[in-house]
Structure 1
Amino acid sequence: MYYKDDFNVTFKEESAFYRYLDDVEKRAEWFRAQSKDLKVEAVTKDSICSPIGNINLEYLKEDTLKNSGLMIKTPDRSCYLGISAVKSLKGRARIDGKALAELDKETLAYILNECLKVSKGKSLLRFCEGKVRAVLSGDEKDYSIMSMPEVYTIAGAYIYSDFETAAFKSGCADHNLVNATWELRDQRLNESYQELLGRYGKTFNGELSASVRISTSDVGSSGANIFYTVSANDQYIILGETLKVRHKNCKGTEDFNQNMASIFEYYKAAVQEVLQLCDIWVNHPANAMIGVMKQAGFSKKLIAETVERYRASAGEQPCSAYEIYCGICDVISIARQQETNERGLLLLEEKVAACVNRRWHELDIPGEIKY
């Protein structure tokens, strides 16, 4: 069922994760075509794509009709378009806007074709699991192919060699992103955390554990990114993204390799960024929490549950934005109790991390605020 646009898979064993990456790499294909030669069509019950081995074309068509509703043709082949490719295709056509999502498929295909006719250069298409999954720039200065198995092999090698104890925790993949998380234990993690806390007049005497997540995409959704979280005294703190290596300038994998050599330094930078919230004083913490979480895109239900949990433990006393941020991190444990899947939890973590750089002072307002 890999061909389905809503396909996703999780892994608890590292060997199974790497086997999956290798298998996908063997089945996938990259090819280039002149952008002006691309033609987009709305899929109908009579649509026919180029033959594909080991995949039922009727099932493939049915899944496409439920999702993108489009197919893309080059001078050499006709392919159904995966939903993950829609954003990048619009990018190649140099159009965007919410109104495009409201158009019927025939009108959308017409607009895309008119724009592609005047596009210059080549497009790089990724064909995987029966569909085109991305339509990217064919210029390596704009997009450089990074081998997914190679990225994670490099990541694992550095993680196991740089930390005292490291263990694969989980992996997950869909047609947009791949993520893998390792749990870490190292005296340096404790020492640097204590040192940075001390700069803000805070102390920590417990045992700290950390996890590092490597996230990347081969459809243009993401570069190769490092994402940290820590657990200290039963408090789960999301440190967020500390490194983004873009698929650009012909050396994305080379850049990632060089940056992984400094993986511990990125941990310290992530801790420092979150602890800077200690310098921001908030007089109306619950209201600021509501405002920050609304801006980050959390659901009303999760905002309400997180804020009420915070109020129950901390009350309404003024505090630093750091304390409020730690309260926002509790949204992950709430989501776990609601049996949110692994992919959903990762998306929530990214929303939490985005809260760090919000304009806290502007959201520190009195009165009653609705969720």
Structure 2
Amino acid sequence: MNETMVYADGFEKTFATAEEMLDFLSRRRKASEWIRKPIRALRLVPLEKEADNLENGDAEMEEILKDTEKHTRLVLKVRGEAYPVRNCAIQTILGRAGIGGDGLRKLDLATYAKVVNCCLKAAKGECLIKIADGKVSAVHGGDAHDYSVLDMKAIFEMTSEYLHTNFKGSAYLEGSGTYDHSVMSAMWTLSGNQELLDTYRDALDRYGVSRKNLTPALRLTTSDVAASGVNLYPMLLTDGNNHTLSLGSPITLAHRNHSTILDYRNNLKEVYARYQDATERLAALLEIEIHNPVNCLRLLMKKLKIKAAIRNEVVEMYVAQNGEQSCTAHDLYYAMNEAPFYAACQGFTGSQLLRMEENLTRALAMDWKEFDVYGAVKC
């Protein structure tokens, strides 16, 4: 989908260079605005009731309304103004209304809007609304204690500048930058800082494990629609940067409690120490022997909510390359991190792939022996 359709809920874009990404984020800043309103002044309305009033001969708005019809089919009215609602805004609107649950999804659109509006009328305080590219993208709590805006462009620039200054040889990983309306992500290689891997390499040598072309890296993810805080993930690139391994234990800054860009800079100062901790956790997997690798892979990935089709792909590739003999949890963690590749081949969005990576890192702290079971298993 090209940038002329940036209004679309399904919009995604990747960036070959850091400059390209910065330029894009600058345009998104100009195409966005934040407004504060009393929560009780908000009303959800089915799109069909407001479409004629919104069009007014505006060709761009007509396209925005067509896209809204494919997704939420809702408009947010705020004291005489009306804005189409983006998918990623729904959870934040429900949050302001103080309502949730699977039962809402079973209601027809008009009843759904009526129920939410009844709750909005009873709500107190103000909200902070993000309107971007013609649609409502989020409705946050109105106080900086509830939600603090942390500009994506400023976050990206500070990360790039800090790494350039403090990590020799750091560089934006070509094509790693992604953006959709839920989350922005980018990665930098730290190839000039191989000392970050000293502990891990020593552990590999002790266990006689050969891993070549290891490169430390750092991934940034952030969102301004409450999909995540500002996260810094220590990463490991292998096989000439073709294989990405998430090391978990992110450094996180939440969008609340009056957080500022200076708080984020303090988090950047923790990168070196956090990387050391993360590689120690990965090295600890070398000590865990697994006797039933196929069952362990299947059961652990099921626990992590990886879809069955992707679990099967991972297991088939692992068995083809390694057989079914005993191994270590370290071997299986490498295999599990192929799941995002198979998910991408199946059309998963960028934000879905990032969530999968985050889920996979939970395995670093789990009891692997619990899943090392003998015999046939159902998953």
Could you say what the CA RMSD is over the residues aligned between the two structures, in angstroms? 2.6
1:232 and 1:131 mapped to 2: Cα distance?
A: 40
Residue of structure 2 equivalent to 1:158 = 162
Of 72, 76, 98, 1:72 maps to 76
Superposition pairs of residues 1-371 of structure 1, within 5 angstroms: 1-44=5-48, 46-48=50-52, 56-169=60-173, 170-185=176-191, 186-195=193-202, 206-232=212-238, 236-334=244-342, 345-371=353-379
- Give the 3-state SS of the residue equivalent to 2:148 in structure 1: coil
The answer on whether the counterparts of 1:193 and 1:271 sit within 8 Å (CA) in structure 2 is yes
Q: How big is each residue's C-alpha offset from its partner over 1:185-240, in whole Å with a ceiling of 9 and x where there is no partner?
A: 02322324325657x75666744212211100011111110123213467653213
Classify 1:53/1:228 alpha carbon distance in 2 versus 1 (closer, same or farther; 3 Å): farther
Task: Quote how far apart the aligned CAs of 1:341 are.
Answer: 6.8
Q: How big is each residue's C-alpha offset from its partner over 1:337-370, in whole Å with a ceiling of 9 and x where there is no partner?
A: 7787755644442332233334433322221124
The answer on whether the counterparts of 2:197 and 2:216 sit within 8 Å (CA) in structure 1 is no
- Structure 2 alignment gaps of length 5 or more: none
2:121 and 2:49 mapped to 1: Cα distance?
A: 27
1:117 and 1:370 mapped to 2: Cα distance?
A: 48
Task: Quote how far apart the aligned CAs of 1:295 are.
Answer: 2.1
Task: Quote how far apart the aligned CAs of 1:76 are.
Answer: 4.6
1:104 and 1:112 mapped to 2: Cα distance?
A: 12
TM-score (norm 2): 0.88
Task: Quote how far apart the aligned CAs of 1:307 are.
Answer: 0.9
- Give the 3-state SS of the residue equivalent to 2:247 in structure 1: strand
The answer on whether the counterparts of 1:49 and 1:80 sit within 8 Å (CA) in structure 2 is no
Classify 1:183/1:342 alpha carbon distance in 2 versus 1 (closer, same or farther; 3 Å): farther
1:175 and 1:6 mapped to 2: Cα distance?
A: 8
- Give the 3-state SS of the residue equivalent to 1:56 in structure 2: helix
Classify 1:147/1:339 alpha carbon distance in 2 versus 1 (closer, same or farther; 3 Å): closer
The answer on whether the counterparts of 2:177 and 2:184 sit within 8 Å (CA) in structure 1 is yes
The answer on whether the counterparts of 1:245 and 1:252 sit within 8 Å (CA) in structure 2 is no
- Structure 1 alignment gaps of length 5 or more: none
Q: How big is each residue's C-alpha offset from its partner over 1:283-323, in whole Å with a ceiling of 9 and x where there is no partner?
A: 32211110111122222222112112222333333333222
Paired AA for residue 157 in structure 1: E
Q: How big is each residue's C-alpha offset from its partner over 1:114-148, in whole Å with a ceiling of 9 and x where there is no partner?
A: 11111111111000000110011111111101111
- Give the 3-state SS of the residue equivalent to 1:324 in structure 2: helix
Alignment length, in residue pairs? 370
- Give the 3-state SS of the residue equivalent to 1:95 in structure 2: coil
The answer on whether the counterparts of 1:216 and 1:225 sit within 8 Å (CA) in structure 2 is yes
2:327 and 2:211 mapped to 1: Cα distance?
A: 22
Classify 1:343/1:248 alpha carbon distance in 2 versus 1 (closer, same or farther; 3 Å): closer
1:3 and 1:265 mapped to 2: Cα distance?
A: 40
The answer on whether the counterparts of 1:246 and 1:252 sit within 8 Å (CA) in structure 2 is no
TM-score (norm 1): 0.90
2:45 and 2:263 mapped to 1: Cα distance?
A: 38
Classify 1:46/1:81 alpha carbon distance in 2 versus 1 (closer, same or farther; 3 Å): closer
Classify 1:248/1:54 alpha carbon distance in 2 versus 1 (closer, same or farther; 3 Å): farther
1:133 and 1:337 mapped to 2: Cα distance?
A: 28
